[in-house]
Structure 1
Amino acid sequence: MRAISTNAVCCLLTLLLGLLGLGSGAGEGRAAGETRPPVAIQFSLDRPIDASAAPFVLAASRGLFGSEGLAVSTNIASGSVDGIARVAAGTSDVALVDINELIRFRDKPGARPIKAVFVLFNKAPYAIIARKSRGIRALSDIEGKTLGVPEGDLSIRLWPALARQNGIRTASVKQSRISAAVREPMLSAGQVDAVTGFSYLSGVNLRDRGIPADDLAVLRYADYGCEAYGFALIVSPAFAAAKPEAVKGFLRAVMAGIHLTVKDPTRAAEEVVSRMDGGSRDLELERLHAVIRDNILTADVRRNGIGGIDPIRFGRAVDQIAEDYKFQKRPDGADIFDDSFLPAPGDRVIN
């Protein structure tokens, strides 16, 4: 009789634990029998979709976000400053922005403690794009020339450090402020000798405008000693605190999208073009190859995997920013980057 009573009590406890989802195996049973609503994420790209957004396009089109229990809605910001502002205001949960703009933003009084959680571009895409026919084949040739600097261009902010590092007299380079809309046309027409911009954007767009590839010199800052990282994913502090597993799932999906992009760039470019208004498959494939080669799959990434930062290199990059920016408080890596959401190290290795 006593044994029967004990068994009855055990059965009752098991039933109660099962109802509460606390018993052994209860989590699996609930997951199998219950459909949970996906976690909604508002995601901002810093510019309209092009091939550089392939990992995010594939994460959406291949159901990678969905498999992580996420419903991701993508919106387009008008640049990194706007993307950061959206995350700061809480209108976006995650954004892709230039990490160097984030560093400057965080130095402002009262700035929200937004951090990057994943570095997509291990090397910044900053570049000077020039015409060889105008006498520019290397960075040292820029002296005595006219450099077109578009409004809002990010590359020019690290120009003082680059010039000093390479012994170039900045006073000898005439800067002509121009609209971003006429950057490529003015260089094509010979109205300026060179322009600042992103290597994978202006460098590829100019070839599309009919300038022969052998007449273009794409002088990447990274090839001349620039230590800066490039585009990174930032996350709202409130969202990260409330839904850390959703942030981790977002990064896992993006990581899977990167693997697919690197494995088959042609198909990735085709999927991107299918979401563009009048995009060119050949142009975007060329752009994607440039992004993978110069910004994503760098020697550092091949050694250590993608997504994180090297604190020592980060410190050198901050020193270079300080050539043209006076910090109120110089940041270190932990002030700007949170590695707690990163996928496992083995998953971040790209072959």
Structure 2
Amino acid sequence: MQIDQGEGSAATVTRIMSGAYDAGFGDINAIIQNVLETPETAPLMVYQIYNQPPFSVLTKSDGPVQELSDLEGLRVGGPAGSAATRLFPALAASAGVDVSEVEIVNVATNIQEQMLIRANIEASLVFNVTSYLNLVGLGLDPETEFNWFNYGDNGVDIYSNGVMVSRELAKEHPEAVRGLVRAINRAMKEVIADPAMGAATVKEVEPLIDEELEELRIDFAIENLIISDETETVGLGGVDEERLARSIETIKEAYELDGSLEPSIVFSSDFLPPLDDRTAN
């Protein structure tokens, strides 16, 4: 087995579609976008890791935005084309914010936090699991010095990253997919139980990382993205089909896509271990 470092959750989808890879860690919403156009080659999600979307509106705790309605009339930074930016109208609609009264400023991903800190913008549309650690790296306290308005907590009820495979692999080698999912599920349970071990394992693969920051990243992901009330019912790796159906409609509207799509075309539970084996401590 060959394992390579990825270059973004959306890129995973295109690489599997091209045949370069058989499986990867990527965004289920990118599957939704592609399966409507090329259902034969779009990947299939087989283990949902991020139960909650990793998108947030980030603001300074002493700034003008104390609730989402305060965004009207202000400058909000977001990378052009990013999922957080594309889905902002859905967030605004849910929160009762008039999106036409919000100035969206195109901001490069690597300077989002700095632009906010310098007051060049009043809010930033961020990938929270990354932005949280960026702020720590800048010597700031993301818990007390900033407000986080998570999309999932404010009406954008979608899933995000997980393990996906090519449809060819799922069809021709189902036992290989089950084995992959079984191994990932075991690793998930072990890292959730011991995030420090997870960070140490990453350090072995990537010696240049800051192990302490990596443990913080894992803790943040577990608390905010992986474990939710829903995972107590569907287990690690699972989804709620009714929620996934609603998520598909949200993505279709945000990306102006046409066509009907059943959840089973996007996600398959056929390869999951039994529910009792997917319970997190």
TM-score by length of 1: 0.75
- 1:327–1:111: structure 2 CA closer, same or farther, 3 Å change rule? farther
CA contact (8 A) 1:147 1:174 kept: yes
Deviation at 1:182, TM superposition (A): 1.7
Aligned 1:85-234 pairs, distance under 5 A? 85-109=14-38, 112-213=41-142, 214-234=144-164
1:204-260 Cα shifts (integer Å, max 9, x gaps): 312321334322111111111221011021111222222211110000000000111
Distance 1:212 1:117 in 2: 36
Stretch of structure 1 that moved more, 85-94 or 278-287 = 278-287
Aligned 1:1-351 pairs, distance under 5 A? 71=1, 73-109=2-38, 112-213=41-142, 214-351=144-281
Distance 1:119 1:163 in 2: 26
1:278-334 Cα shifts (integer Å, max 9, x gaps): 322222121111100111111111233111221111122122223323332121211
Aligned residues: 280
Report which of the two structures shows the higher radius of gyration computed on alpha carbons. Answer: 1
Distance 1:109 1:285 in 2: 38
> 1:183 is aligned with what amino acid?
Q
Distance 1:152 1:270 in 2: 34
CA contact (8 A) 1:107 1:329 kept: yes
> 2:28 is aligned with what amino acid?
I
Coordinate RMSD, CA, aligned: 1.7
CA contact (8 A) 2:33 2:252 kept: no
- 1:133–1:277: structure 2 CA closer, same or farther, 3 Å change rule? farther
Identify the residue that residue 19 of structure 1 maps to in structure 2. Answer: none
Structure 1 unmatched ranges of 5 or more = 1-70
CA contact (8 A) 1:203 1:218 kept: no
Deviation at 1:277, TM superposition (A): 5.0
1:18-43 Cα shifts (integer Å, max 9, x gaps): xxxxxxxxxxxxxxxxxxxxxxxxxx
CA contact (8 A) 1:150 1:179 kept: yes
Deviation at 1:78, TM superposition (A): 2.4
Deviation at 1:200, TM superposition (A): 1.2
Distance 1:110 1:293 in 2: 34
Q: Where in structure 1 do 4 or more consecutive aligned residues deviate above 6 Å?
A: none
> 1:223 is aligned with what amino acid?
D
Distance 2:73 2:206 in 1: 40
- 1:198–1:113: structure 2 CA closer, same or farther, 3 Å change rule? closer
CA contact (8 A) 2:170 2:177 kept: yes
- Which one scores higher on RCO, CA 8 angstroms, separation ≥ 6? 2
1:76-115 Cα shifts (integer Å, max 9, x gaps): 3322332111111111010111111110111225761421
Deviation at 1:135, TM superposition (A): 1.5
Distance 1:212 1:80 in 2: 27
> 1:191 is aligned with what amino acid?
N
Percent identity reads 27
Alignment partner of 1:341: what SS?
coil
Alignment partner of 1:127: what SS?
strand
CA contact (8 A) 1:157 1:321 kept: no
Alignment partner of 2:16: what SS?
helix
Distance 2:91 2:107 in 1: 21
Distance 2:38 2:169 in 1: 22
Distance 2:228 2:220 in 1: 11
CA contact (8 A) 1:188 1:209 kept: no
